[in-house]
Amino acid sequence: MLDLSDSASRARQRMAFCSLSFLIVFFLTPGGAIVGNTAMLAFMVTLGVYFHVAWLQSWLISNREHYWEKIEIPSYFLDMPIIGFGLAVAGPYLALVSPLLAVVALVRGMRYGPCMLACHIVAGVLILLLLYVLVPYWSEHPDLLYANLFLLIILPIQFYGVSVKIQANSKSLRQENLTDPLTRSLNRKALDTAIWRMLNAREPFVMSFLDLDNFKVVNDTMGHAVGDKLLRRVSTKLSIRLRADDKVYRLSGDEFVVLSLGIVHEEMAENLGHRIKNAIAEAVAYTCPNLPVSASVGVLVVNSFEDTDLEKLLVRADKLMYLAKKAGKNQVLVEQV
């Protein structure tokens, strides 16, 4: 899952990079070197285009997250060619910032792991070789080119181990942030994100909202430790008995939600509800077989996306579950949106 605030911050950094590069070239380059210089003008235009690309990225993050997810990683490979083009057409004026190639490779590797690190090193080496072969300024200053080549290779290699650890820790932290600590199922934050994505993608799905009937009896008669054990067992049984693509989320207390794709008919949704109910019956039989604990399930089939949002769907599924309780508990009710 994307960290939107982090992605938005990187988009703003790109815009700042473009603006700073433009100002550096504009103020440090003699006027005559720009006027009539096709390459320099092309560089200025490229910076302008890249600035607007960064602005578009920022807009996609805010308004079209499901599109941004598909292009986020490929978009980062634009940075190296932009820097290389700037060094080619404005070498004397951007030479001081030429270590940006190594910095970008290092930052990408620290952020996205060894594979991204290796790709950026290869891209950086190719850019430096092209500069040496095609651009007179760089072939006349090989010492500067060698220094950049050294930085590009040695810095990332030095931080390779750190990159691996950061990637592993980042993945672990993201997973923990989306996981319920008691049951190890996904939590409310993960549920909100998943529903938000499907609504934006206008992808039909089924939301099964379930609540354990008489769960309080377990805590009152057998203690909270057994109640916690039952909740963990419910999460495990649901994960085992349902399809691999069905995701289990714990909201709070004894309330769970199951999100399912590929189910568009009410009959299929009702069968899903009964599988959920049977999985919970197995968990109860294993943990507290003598107590009258069951599950009421409200299954909401979402095929329409007009005038609906995350909160409306949750409220509707919750009401459907309570209607199942009022119908006598241990019931499955299905409704289509």
Kindly report, residue by residue over 172-229, the tens digit of the pLDDT.
667 777 888 888 889 998 898 888 888 887 888 999 999 999 999 999 999 999 999 9
Q: Which of 205, 192, 312, 311 is nearest to 261 (CA)?
A: 205
Domain identity same for 96 and 234: no
Average pLDDT over residues 217-243: 91
Domain identity same for 80 and 194: no
End position of a domain, from candidates 129, 146, 176: 176
Average pLDDT over residues 63-87: 67
Q: Give 249's contacts (C-beta < 8 A, 6+ positions apart).
A: 180, 185, 186, 187, 188, 190, 191, 194, 256, 257, 258, 259
Domain identity same for 62 and 139: yes
Domain identity same for 21 and 154: yes
Domain identity same for 95 and 237: no
Domain identity same for 145 and 208: no
Place of tokens 């309080």: 216
Radius of gyration (C-alpha) of the chain in whole angstroms:
28
End position of a domain, from candidates 157, 176, 195: 176
Query: What is the tens place of the pLDDT at every residue in 116-167?
Result: 878 888 888 898 899 888 888 888 888 888 888 888 878 767 776 666 776 6
End position of a domain, from candidates 144, 176, 208: 176
Average pLDDT over residues 82-109: 77
* Chain-centre distance for alpha carbon 273: 29
Crossing angle for the helix pair 142-158 and 160-177, nearest 10 degrees? Answer: 50
pLDDT at 279: 93
Query: pLDDT at residue 2 above 50?
Result: no
Domain identity same for 106 and 228: no
Average pLDDT over residues 272-287: 92
pLDDT averaged over every residue in the chain: 80
State percent of the chain over pLDDT 90.
22
Amino acid present at 3: D
Domain identity same for 171 and 284: no
Q: Which of 64, 56, 96, 103 is nearest to 80 (CA)?
A: 103
Crossing angle for the helix pair 114-134 and 79-89, nearest 10 degrees? Answer: 20
Sign of the torsion angle spanned by Cα atoms 200, 272, 190, 335 = positive
Domain identity same for 20 and 40: yes
Q: Give 321's contacts (C-beta < 8 A, 6+ positions apart).
A: 209, 210, 211, 296, 297, 298, 333
pLDDT at 228: 92
Crossing angle for the helix pair 215-222 and 224-241, nearest 10 degrees? Answer: 140
Q: What is the DSSP letter of 301?
A: E
Query: pLDDT at residue 72 above 90?
Result: no
How many folded domains does the chain comprise?
A: 2
Domain identity same for 149 and 204: no
Domain hosting residue 195, numbered range: 179-336
Looking up residue 197, the CATH number of its domain turns out to be 3.30.70.270
Query: pLDDT at residue 230 above 70?
Result: yes
pLDDT at 243: 87
Domain identity same for 191 and 211: yes
Q: What are phi and psi of 303, to 5 degrees?
A: -115, -15
- Strands of the sheet with 255-261, listed across from one edge: 247-252, 255-261, 205-213, 294-302, 332-336
Residue of 323 and 145 predicted with greater confidence: 323
CA separation for the pair 35, 320 (Å, rounded): 70
Q: Give 271's contacts (C-beta < 8 A, 6+ positions apart).
A: none
Place of tokens 């109640």: 227
Domain identity same for 98 and 226: no
Residue pair 152/121 in contact by the 8 Å Cβ criterion = yes
| Strand pairing class (247-252; 332-336) | unpaired
CA separation for the pair 10, 7 (Å, rounded): 5
pLDDT at 282: 92
Residue pair 256/249 in contact by the 8 Å Cβ criterion = yes
